[in-house]
Amino acid sequence: MKVAPCAQLLIKDNILYDTKKKQLEAVRKDWSAIKFIHNPDKDVQLAAVRRNGLAIQCIPNPDKDIQLGAVKQDGNVIQYIPNPDKEVQLEAIKQNASVIRHVLNPDKDVQLEAVKQDGRVIKHISNPDKDVQLEAVKQNGWAIQFIPNPDKDIQLEAVKQNGYAIQFIPNPDKDIQLEAVKQNGNVIQHISNPDKDVQLEAVKGDGRAIQFIPNPDKDIQLEAVKQDGLAIQFITNPDKNMQLEAVRQSG
């Protein structure tokens, strides 16, 4: 907010905003007006932070109500609050999960609230326990890329939420592979040397996934065209039965 030099003395003596009504009108119109109000009362402070949470930077020693009003408007302003309590942390994270990066040593409840909002913010949490890891991958399977050495339960939940998460799992076992292709047959392209069961599961879900299977046998080919007749375009030298099945499926 720009103030003309001639108004500076008025501001200094609080004459420009000499009544509470004027102060409230000013901060509701432009939150930054609080910079020019000497000792604004709580109502004025609240009005300012509700207009823009950044106003809390201009309020010395804001009480808890002011802190809550500010983070509800903009979770990021928690970084300007020294030692915010758990309630303030939770409100900030409900507004924006990524602000957990500004919270020093968040407890488990705060961590859980954050990953339930956005699983990927687990990357900002040091040593999350298994419960936090599970909630993160349930919300977004891709969060597994930020979890060192996830156990099988975490891997399963991740690929159930998003089959493509398998690409972040080194050497996934058969159970993980099956869950991933059940979620999306095309993720077989990210599986090295899938066995026949995995291949079948993939093409049962999406016949065109056969394009990612080198040298599929006849059973795989047949399942693929049963699921989608157009999958035949990815089969080299299909036999007569395969062609008939494809025609039946394509109508």
Reduced to 3 states (helix: H, G, I; strand: E, B; else coil), residue 14 is coil
- What does pLDDT average to over the chain? 93
Q: Which of 50, 83, 116 is the last residue of a domain?
A: 83
Question: What pLDDT does residue 6 have?
Answer: 34
Q: Is the pLDDT of residue 28 over 80?
A: yes
Domain assignment present for residue 33? The answer is yes
Token couple for 218 = 């006849």
Residue range 133-171, pLDDT digits in tens: 999 999 999 999 999 999 999 999 999 999 999 999 999
Question: What pLDDT does residue 240 have?
Answer: 86
Question: What pLDDT does residue 197 have?
Answer: 98
Same domain, yes or no: 7 and 60: yes
Domain assignment present for residue 96? The answer is no
Its domain, for residue 119, covers 105-169
Same domain, yes or no: 180 and 239: yes
Secondary structure percentages of the chain, helix, strand, coil, to 5: 70, 0, 30
pTM, whole model, 2 decimals?
0.86
Confidence of residue 182 (pLDDT cuts 50, 70, 90): very high
Domain assignment present for residue 238? The answer is yes
Q: Which of 15, 48, 83 is the last residue of a domain?
A: 83
Confidence of residue 16 (pLDDT cuts 50, 70, 90): confident
Q: Which of 139, 169, 199 is the last residue of a domain?
A: 169
- Domains contained in the chain, number: 3
Confidence of residue 193 (pLDDT cuts 50, 70, 90): very high
Residue with tokens 């507004």: 95
Residue range 76-116, pLDDT digits in tens: 999 999 999 999 999 999 999 999 999 999 999 999 999 99
Question: What pLDDT does residue 24 have?
Answer: 95
Same domain, yes or no: 73 and 9: yes
Same domain, yes or no: 7 and 76: yes
Domain assignment present for residue 194? The answer is yes
Domain assignment present for residue 40? The answer is yes
Same domain, yes or no: 179 and 159: no
Cβ neighbours of residue 193 under 8 Å, at least 6 residues apart?
none
Domain assignment present for residue 46? The answer is yes
Domain assignment present for residue 185? The answer is yes
Domain assignment present for residue 92? The answer is no
Same domain, yes or no: 241 and 176: yes
CA distance 130 to 127: 9
